[in-house]
Structures are given as C-alpha cells and as structure tokens.
Structure 1
Amino acid sequence: MHAVRLYAFGPAENLRYEQAPDPVPGPGRLRIAVAAAGVHLLDAALRAGHRGPLPERPTLPTVPGREVAGVVDALGDGVDGLWLGKRVVAHLGFAPGGYAELAVTDVDRVHEIPRNLDFAAAVAMIGTGRTALGIVQFAEPGPDDVVVVPAAAGGIGTLLVQHAKNAGATVIGLAGGPEKTARVRANGADLAVDYTDTAWPAKVRADLGARQASIVYDGVGGETARQAVALLGPGGRHLVFGWSAEGIGEGKGHLVEGVSQSVLGPEMLRRAGGLHALELRALAEAAHGRLRPAVTRFPLADAPAAHRALENRGTIGKVVLEP
C-alpha cells in the first residue's frame, strides 16, 4: 500500500508519501480499504512536535490520521464475517494510521455508513460531527438565542451554524474573506461577517439593534474571540473548545461580568452516552440531512499541501485526503 509517513517533527514537508507494508488485522480487528481520511488541526500540531491533549508525542516514524472511511477488506480472528465488504467509518482514537490506503482498527470502533452518505461526509461526521454535538450539549440553542460562531466556515463551525438554525436561533457566522462569508451565508447564517474587517463588531451591533448575543461557540481564541464575547449580554454563555488563533493549548479565557464561561476539553465527548452514542447521532443527523458537512478534498499524496492549507486557513469545512 501507499501511506504518508512522518520521520521527524517539523514542517508539512516532513510528511512523506511512500510505499509501506500492508497492515494485518489481529484478533477482534478489521482492515479498511480507505476511501477517505480526515485531517485535523491536531494532526498538524502533532506533526510540528506539539503533543496537544495527548499524554506524549507520537513515536516516530508514524502514519498520522485518526479518522477513516472505506470498505472492509480483511478480518481478524473473532470478527463477524458479515463485516466483510461493508462501507464503514471509524475514529481510530489516539492510535494513528489514517493517512494510508489501508487502515486497521478494533471492530467496536466501526460504524456502517448510512446508504445516502459518501465516504468524505462520513469521515467528517465521525470526528468533527461528534465534536460539534458534544459542544452544543453544554449550551443548546433555542428560538430566543442569538448565537455567534467564530470560524463559521470551518468543519465544526459549519455544523454549529446548521444546528443553531435548526433550533430556530438567530445565527451570526464569522469567517475570513468574501469567499468564506459567502459560504457561511449559503449555509444558513442570518448574518455572515468578515472578521478581517476591523469594523465588524459595530456592524453586528447595528444589525442586532436592541438584541444581544446569548451564546458564543469559540474554537479560535485570540482577538476575534475577545470581540465576539463582548457582544454577549447578561446571562450569556461562552463555550471555549479550541484556540486555533493562538496555538493549541495557548488560549486564555476572556472573562466578562455576567457571562458564564465553560472551557471544554475531551471530557465533553463522554457525556450523553459517550463517544459511540455521539458518533451514531452525528451519522444519523447527516443521513437525514439535518447536518451537512462541508469538505475540502486533497489527494493522499498531497498531505503536505493539505496541512499547509489547514494551518493557513485556506480551507472550507472538513479537510479530507482521498487515496
């Protein structure tokens, strides 16, 4: 098979597309002929040598990637033969191996893909989708809410905008540049705002009139988050789940009097029945058309370009590698 390997921490150019041995599934495991592999900002942080939320950095050499979808082509001992040939998606957890033509995982991590979902959409929902649903359980929006979503053109932001609109909320989506704000608007946001325009907070206040924001879903940190939090009225809720504008793990809260702030970590995914339940719900939401992930696709061999684009905010939605 072909795979993308990392031999030394550093820039995206350190990712090498090359031949690798085919993995063989052991007992209780199966192998997936990968049709789509998810790329996460955490992958880029680990590649650069940061450990992020992991207890330690990956052991090198490694094949990055933790989200895959494809067709089951081999079974280990003890795995039901009915899995063979099924279209499946899996989150590999903290075990890497996704950036490859073949990936092995435990059978209990695998979900059959609903008939009307393609592989890229399934990959988006197994990781990004479950995270979005994990976030909103801490502040479910309703018809009386004004929701602000920084990075609204990103993978998680796209789904948060849709979820809030489905709940009847007024949604303000922030994104960088006219192409991304156009996508946010098409995605259903009531107001799509270019945060590279320094006057954007005043424009939002003018549009809201007497209303104030009630929820900020913050995955970026930095100045954009500070300005978004300043839009919250008394009793507003600020949910922090990432710091992409400041680097992984570098974010600091932006406390405002009268606003409740929750800084969410991996434990947020363990509520509401745990990871498995969130993954099932995410796939079902997509299968029924209630959540529609946006995807930016790259060939597997172009993994370095995918990492650079993600780090430079040159992507829309979930980044996916396709062998």
Structure 2
Amino acid sequence: MHAIRHHAFGPADVLHLEQLPDLDPGPGQLRIAVEVAGVHLLDTSIRAGESFGAGEPPELPVIPGREVAGVVDRVGPAVNPGWLGRRVVAHLGFAGGGYAEQAVVDASRAYALPDHLDAATAVAAIGTGRTAAAILDLAAIAPDDVVAVTSAAGGLGVLLLQGVRAVGAAAIGVAGGPDKVAVAAKHGADPSLDRRRPGWVEGAGVHGPLTVVLDGVGGEVGQALYERLAPGGRLVRYGWASGAQNAYDDPERPVVDVLGPPIMSRLAEFERAALDAAADGTRVPHVGATFALADAAAAHRALEESATTGKVVLLVGRSDG
C-alpha cells in the first residue's frame, strides 16, 4: 500500500509518500480500503512536534491521520464476514494511520454508512462532527441565547452554527476575510463578522448582549467577545488556535472547558450523534478543500496558513491489496 509517513518532526516537507507492506487485520479487527482520510489542525502540530493534544508523542516513523472512510476488504479472526464490502467510517484514535490506502481498526469502532452519506462527509462527521456534538451538548444552548462562534468558516465552526440555529438561538459568526465570512453566512451566521475589519466586535451586539461564546481561537478575538458577554453568560472554550490561551477571571462570566476529560468517556456517543446528524441533515459538515494523498504536505500548509474553509480531506482511492 501507499502511505504518507514522517521520520522526524518538522515542517510540512517532512511528509513523504512511501510504499509499505499491506496491513493484516488482527482478531476483532477490520481492514478498510481507504477512500477518504481526514486532515486536522492537530495533525500539523503533531507533525511539527509542537503539541500532541491529549495523546503522547508518537513513535517515529509514523503515518498521520485518525479519520478514515472506505470499504471493508478484509476481516480478522472472530469478525463477522458480513462486514466485507460494506462502506464504513472510523476514528482510529491517537495511534494514527489514516493517511494511507489501508487502515486497520477494531470492528467495534467502525460505523456502517447509509448509501446517501458520502465518504468525505462521513470523515468530517466522525472527527470534527463528534467534537461539535460534544461542544453543543456541554454548552447547553437554549432558544433565547445569543451565541457567537469563532472561526465560523472552519470545519467545526459551520457545524456549531448549524447546531445553534437548530435550537432556535441567534448565531453570530466571526471569521477572517470576505470569503470566510460568506461561508459562515451560508451556514447560518446572522450576522457574519469579519474580524479583520476595525470595529467588527460591535456587530456582535445586533441581537442584544451575548450570552454564550463558543471559542476555539482565544487571543484578541476571544478576549473581545468575552468582554461583550452579559453577566451570567459563559465562554465555552475548546482550544486557542491563535496560540494565546487567555486568562478569564470574572466569576459572573464563567469559562467552560470542554475538551479532554469532560468528553473522553462519551466519544462513541458523540460519534454516533454526529453521524446521525449528518445523515438526517441536522448538522452537515462542509468539506471545503480536497487534496490527493500524495499532496498531504500541501494540505498541511494550507491549514497552517488559514487558507481553507470547512473540513480538509485527502482523496485516497481504493487499495489494490
């Protein structure tokens, strides 16, 4: 099989396409002929050796990626042969292995796909979608809330906008640049604000004081929105892509951190919720950029340069093995 590996931590150029032995599923496992693999911002920080999320630094060389969809082409011992030929999606966990023509996963971690759900959308749902499901669950948004969503044109942002609108709350999107503002508006942001324009934060008050901020950016954007929160409001934090983890200390405007322990024991629940929402149209991921497997380095550079909207995926194709 072909796969992307890196033998050292560093810039995107450390990613190389290599020929590797085909994989054999072990007891209880499936082998997936991968059609689409998800690319996540965390993949870029792991590759750079800068941050490893909730996991440990991987043993090199490593195949990046944790989200795959494709067709089951082999099963291991003690696995129902009825899986063979089925379209599935799976999250591989922190072990990685997604940027490849084949992936192996425990059968208990695979989800069969309905015919109308395409592989790219399913990949976005199993990873980014499960995070959105967790954030929305823990944010407990009510119909009378006024909610601001940062990075609103990203893969996570567009799902959060849809989730906010689904409960009847006001959804305000914050994005960087006209193209991204347009994407956020298409997915429910009203208004959609360009954080690059002076005075952008004033537009966050169009529906009245903010009661909830869903923030994965931090820095100046997170701080500006936090200062617009009404007393009793809350900032729900799921990252700080700006690199600045703000310190908020107003007890009347608490911060709710949702990643890590609060959701780890419920991952399967959130995966199922995200896939169901994608299938029934409640929260449909926006796949904004696709790259060939061999162009994984370009995909990483595009993410690092904030040059993408929605979810980024690799189009892998079918395995010959």
User: Into which bin does the TM-score normalised by the smaller protein fall?
Assistant: over 0.9
**What is the deviation of 1:55?**
4.6
Q: 1:133-183: CA deviations, max 9, x gaps?
A: 111112222221100000000111110000000110111000010001011
Label 1:138 to 1:253 Cα distance change in 2 as closer, same or farther (>3 A).
farther
Q: Secondary structure at the match of 2:56?
A: coil
Q: Check the 8 A contact 1:229/1:256 in 2, yes or no.
A: no
Say yes or no: does 1:284 pair with 2:276: yes
Task: Tell me what 1:222 maps to.
Answer: 219
Does the 8 A contact of 1:218 with 1:241 survive in 2? yes
State the partner residue of 2:314: 321
Q: Percent identity?
A: 50
Spell out, residue by residue over 1:215-262, the C-alpha distance to the aligned partner (whole angstroms, 9 max, x if none): 00111111111011111101101111111111xxx6233333520111
| Structure 2 residue matching 1:137: 3-state secondary structure | helix
Contact 2:130/2:270 (8 A) holds in 1: yes
One-letter amino acid of the counterpart of residue 203, structure 2: K
Task: Please say if 1:238 is aligned against 2:235.
Answer: yes
Size of the aligned set, in residue pairs, is 315
Does the 8 Å CA contact 1:50/1:57 hold for their aligned counterparts?
no
For 2:72 and 2:262, the matched residues in 1 are separated by 30
Q: Secondary structure at the match of 1:184?
A: helix
SS of the residue 1:233 aligns to: strand
Q: Tell me, yes or no, if structure 1 residue 263 matches structure 2 residue 284.
A: no
Asked if 1 retains the 8 angstrom alpha-carbon contact of 2:172 and 2:190, the reply is yes
Q: Which residue in the other structure is 2:18 paired with?
A: 18
Whether the aligned pair in 2 keeps the contact of 1:41 and 1:311 (CA below 8 Å) is yes
Give, in whole Å, the separation in 2 of the partners of 1:75 and 1:302.
Answer: 29
The alpha carbon displacement at 1:280 in A equals 1.0
Tell me how far apart the structure 2 counterparts of residues 55 and 158 of structure 1 sit (CA, whole Å). Answer: 26
Deviations 1:266-315 (A, max 9, x none): 223246xx211211111111110011101121111110011011111111
The alignment partner of 1:252 has SS state of coil
2:281 & 2:259 partners in 1: Cα distance? Answer: 28
Q: How well do the aligned residues superpose, as a CA RMSD in angstroms? A: 1.3
**Distance (whole Å) between structure 2 residues aligned to residue 16 and residue 4 of structure 1:** 5
**Counterpart secondary structure, 1:138:** helix
Structure 2 unaligned segments of length 5 or more: list them: 317-321
Q: What amino acid is aligned across from residue 64 of structure 2 in structure 1?
A: P
CA distance in 2, matches of 1:76, 1:279: 24
2:138–2:258 contact (8 Å) kept in structure 1: no
Distance 1:184 1:136 in 2: 17
Q: Which runs of 4+ in 1 moved over 3 A?
A: none
Instruction: Write out per-residue CA displacement over residues 178-231 of structure 1, whole angstroms, 9 at most, x where no aligned residue.
Output: 0010111111111100001121012333x23xx100100111111111011111
> Please, which runs of 5 or more residues in structure 1 have no aligned partner?
none
**Equivalent residues in 2 for 1:50-129, closer than 5 Å:** 50-129=50-129
Does the aligned pair in 1 maintain the 2:4–2:99 contact within 8 Å? yes
Please give the TM-score of this superposition, normalised by the length of structure 1.
0.95
Q: Quick one: distance in 1 between partners of 2:89 and 2:111?
A: 5
Asked if the contact 2:173–2:189 (Cα under 8 Å) also holds between the matched residues in 1, the reply is: yes
1:94 Cα deviation (Å)?
1.0
Match of 1:198 in 2: 198
Change (3 A) 1:78 1:318: same
Q: Which residue is 2:319 aligned to?
A: none
Tell me if the contact between 2:54 and 2:260 (Cα under 8 Å) persists in the aligned partners.
no
Give the TM-score taking structure 2 as reference length.
0.95
Tell whether 2:296 aligns with 1:299.
no
How far, CA to CA, are the matches of 2:280 and 2:154 in structure 1? 21
Distance 1:125 1:86 in 2: 18
Q: Whole-Å Cα distance in 1 between the matches of residues 198 and 254 of structure 2?
A: 26
Q: Establish whether residue 251 from structure 1 lines up as the match of residue 245 from structure 2.
A: yes
**SS of aligned partner of 1:276:** helix
Find the counterpart in structure 2 of residue 186 from structure 1.
186
